[in-house]
Structure 1
Amino acid sequence: MSSDGGSGAPWRSLTTAIYLPTAVSFIGFGAIVPLVPLTARALGASVAEAALVVALMGIGGFVGALPAGVIADRFGEKKSLVGALFVDVSCLLVCAFAPNTWVLAGAVFVTGLSGAMLSLARQSYLTVAVPLTHRARALSTLGGVFRIGSLLGPLMGAAVVSLWGLQAAYLVAAGTSLLAASVTMALPDLPMPEHEPDQPVRMMQVLRQHAHTYATAGVGAAALMLVRTSRDALLPLWCEQIGLDATATSLVFALSSGIDMTLFYLGGSVMDRFGRRWVSVPAMVIMGACFAVLPLAHSVLAVALFAAILGLGNGISAGVVMTIGSDASPAIGRPQFLAGWRLTTGIGQAAGPLLITAIAAVAPLGVAALTIGAIGLTGAGWLWRWVREPAAQPR
């Protein structure tokens, strides 16, 4: 098996060592995310301070993107995964017994850092371990596992809190991360690159060498992330604006998320068979068009229809951003490249809710929806222009 994804064991054989621990740890992570602001409030934080504590997790993930690439290159993907999971265990235990908001905030921030490490190392490992012919399915399945964890995690957290309280949820999450670390140790080691570099690979050197990729395909992928995350902010706000109550809003969002969660493997199969453009571009067109016409939805049925179609666009595009990045990654300096890729796309991920907030502060919410729709439709053309399909490799 070459370092570029040559022949090797079928990628499904990685289910136990990659997908199972990812699912287990992400369910635990999903369980505690809604509880962090409640814990901060219980420790005496104001509403604004509690919101800041929650934001620190995302900030940690953003700040940790480039260091994660350096660590993965230095220690390898497997050791980085195991180490990050043990850091997660420590942080969750600190959260469980935090004596004040500052300690909680620090632990949450470090959890964001370890999350960046986990995301990058999983992507880098699958890029190398899985044959190119199955790469999109492997990475789309990873994206699907994230979605499943996001759905099941809060349900588990609610059950644990109702029985044993807030602290117990963090202890259970620490247990899931510990279990995930134990299972991850069974990962087979990746082969060494066929050609070792004469000099250590420098992060800034890799970023400069691939600046054009970040500025072209990376910008398109960032736009896709922006449109995706806009659903989470815009859909509930629109439901509230047209007078739907919290129950109806939750059901509409559950419909969108349910459809989203069932389509990840279909999107991966299409990418592997026909190319990355045939998922990334239609997904952007579907989501962009939905946001553009969302201001016409004034009933629960209309909003539910648009939410379902948004779920379709988001679902088929699971893993496409990781796949495009993996396709573009070099054999030497891959972790550093993927770190830069995650930083680029992370800007888009963070920009969606911020853009909606900024527009809604000065204009009707419908203008925000039209703006996101325009970005989606423009981004579709950008992706068609700049996404490069990987060259076929002999098996």
Structure 2
Amino acid sequence: MLVALAATPRIRRLVRETVGGLPRQFWWLWVSTLVNKLGAFVITFLALYLTTERGYSASYAGLVASLFGLGAAIAAIGAGVLADRIGRRPTLVAAQLGTALSTAVLGFVDGQVAIAAVAFLVGLFNNASRPAVSAIIADLVPAEDRVRAYSLNFWAINIGFGLSAAVAGLIATQGYLTLFLLDALSTLICAVVIFIRIPETRPERTPGAGPDADGPAIGLGTVFRDGPFMTVVGLNLLLALIFQQSSTTLPVDMGAAGITSTEYGLVIGLNGFLIVVLQIPLTRWMEGRSRTGLLIASCLLTGWGFGLTALAGSSAWLFALSVAVWTVGEVLNAPTMMGLVAELSPARARGRYQGVYSLSWSLALFLGPGVGGVVLEHAGPGVLWGACGIFGTVAALGHVLLGRRARAAAAARAGAVVTEVAVTEPTAVTEPAVTEPAAEAVRPDRAPAQA
């Protein structure tokens, strides 16, 4: 009892440091995300619904999944542009209303063409939320707190998904239509919360207010020509292709290895459980550490965590070990990468930048299941999981090179400031003027924003 009482102030301090200091509007966004994901039944059970309830083939279910991903890819770009042009809130509310309507309709439609078309619309509207949400967080939260904010948002997503997956099977026994309607209802509630509680956060472009507020408009072409940013997007695509195997080729390989459906549920459920348990303590551990180092570690843990699957054989325990390793990589990567993308994005074009970043996940959703299935079928599991390890290593090496380039750019900027001060104020003491840029130069995790 005394130990518990002594620990209480410490726990309170840890809680304050973890969740304190963030704007109230962020917490309303967090609540809306949690409510939305608590009812996110359809995406998780869509393939099972098509094959068991409707009696369609596995290949047709794969086609529907690909069309869902195609809709998500289109939305990533379109919604990012809309978030910058008409605002974050109207884009997000429209996306949520469209998701609610199309999800409800999907529960009623029949026929392969109709189901495929509506699934495309669900993917389109569902992913249209992502650029707006990410931009709102970047608008609301100061740069030094963004990784923490993205981490908490990621935590809410996984709490919601974990709980929804746990109860969805029980709800489905009453009929799959109930799943579709509850999913639509939770999304509608999310839209209402956003409309009432979250103001428009898009920065106003005021003449003379600085480069982020004024200056020429930033179009999609400018985003795609941003070399450092597109390199980050490309590296994330490699990692996203690996993550997509968790819901496609991994269950197929486990089934072929003799793992029962009950064992599979426990193994894959470990992913959500570990995220919920580890996200907050790992977020605190990540504070003050090199962003480049965290991204390198996350890529290696993800790639070779999946690579360990090749050694699992028919052991559910080894499959679980593999899941545990790549889950740690996922926990490290998600908030760190989102913080990097927010820093690389000019304020007046955050929607476009977040949309292009989201495109990497959408393309992985579109390409990952098909490519992974072909490799597994024709080359075998050893090649597939080995390729995951290689992809993770390539992504890690890419972040090594980006970190070096960032440090070189920071050093060049520091040298330029020293030269400018020496020329304009030759008799002044120059050390104070150099202190701030020099501090930036030794923080490679902050440098990519200026690269």
Aligned to 1:5: none
Return closer, same or farther for 1:349/1:95 CA change in 2, 3 Å cut-off.
closer
Consecutive unaligned residues in structure 1, runs of 5 or more: 1-8
CA contact (8 A) 1:267 1:317 kept: no
Q: Which of these residues, 263, 287, 305, is aligned with residue 290 of structure 1?
A: 305
RMSD (Å) for aligned C-alpha atoms: 2.8
> Does residue 206 in structure 1 map to residue 220 in structure 2?
no
Q: Which of these residues, 62, 85, 89, is aligned with residue 100 of structure 2?
A: 89
Aligned partner letter, 1:217:
V
Residues 373-382 or 39-48, more deviating:
39-48
Instruction: Output the CA distance in 1 between the equivalents of 2:333 and 2:301.
Output: 11
Return closer, same or farther for 1:260/1:233 CA change in 2, 3 Å cut-off.
farther
Instruction: Output the CA distance in 2 between the equivalents of 1:306 and 1:315.
Output: 15
Q: Which of these residues, 333, 346, 358, is aligned with residue 349 of structure 2?
A: 333
Secondary structure of residue in 2 paired with 1:62:
helix
Secondary structure of residue in 2 paired with 1:14:
helix
Aligned to 1:219: 234
Aligned to 1:6: none
Aligned to 2:262: 247
Q: CA deviation at 1:11?
A: 2.1
CA contact (8 A) 2:26 2:140 kept: no
Instruction: Output the CA distance in 2 between the equivalents of 1:380 and 1:350.
Output: 23
Q: CA deviation at 1:309?
A: 2.0
Secondary structure of residue in 2 paired with 1:218:
helix
Consecutive unaligned residues in structure 2, runs of 5 or more: 1-19, 407-444
Q: CA deviation at 1:267?
A: 4.3
> Does residue 166 in structure 1 map to residue 176 in structure 2?
yes
Identity of aligned residues (%): 23
Q: CA deviation at 1:72?
A: 0.8
CA contact (8 A) 1:30 1:154 kept: yes
Return closer, same or farther for 1:53/1:292 CA change in 2, 3 Å cut-off.
closer
Q: CA deviation at 1:122?
A: 0.3
CA contact (8 A) 2:151 2:279 kept: yes
Residues 81-90 or 218-227, more deviating:
218-227
Return closer, same or farther for 1:35/1:292 CA change in 2, 3 Å cut-off.
closer
Taking the TM superposition and a 5 Å limit, the aligned residue runs for 1:312-391 are: 312-348=328-364, 350-387=366-403, 389-390=445-446
Secondary structure of residue in 2 paired with 1:361:
helix
Instruction: Output the CA distance in 2 between the equivalents of 1:256 and 1:157.
Output: 17
Q: CA deviation at 1:66?
A: 1.0
Q: CA deviation at 1:306?
A: 2.5
Aligned to 1:180: 190
Instruction: Output the CA distance in 1 between the equivalents of 2:125 and 2:189.
Output: 16
Q: CA deviation at 1:176?
A: 0.8
Return closer, same or farther for 1:98/1:40 CA change in 2, 3 Å cut-off.
farther
Structure number with bigger Rg: 2
Q: Which of these residues, 228, 241, 244, is aligned with residue 243 of structure 2?
A: 228
Return closer, same or farther for 1:40/1:204 CA change in 2, 3 Å cut-off.
farther
Secondary structure of residue in 2 paired with 1:273:
coil
Aligned partner letter, 2:341:
G
Instruction: Output the CA distance in 2 between the equivalents of 1:362 and 1:32.
Output: 28
Return closer, same or farther for 1:326/1:10 CA change in 2, 3 Å cut-off.
same
CA contact (8 A) 1:239 1:249 kept: yes
Q: CA deviation at 1:198?
A: 5.8
Instruction: Output the CA distance in 2 between the equivalents of 1:41 and 1:249.
Output: 18
Residues 334-343 or 198-207, more deviating:
198-207
CA contact (8 A) 2:83 2:91 kept: yes
Return closer, same or farther for 1:32/1:139 CA change in 2, 3 Å cut-off.
same
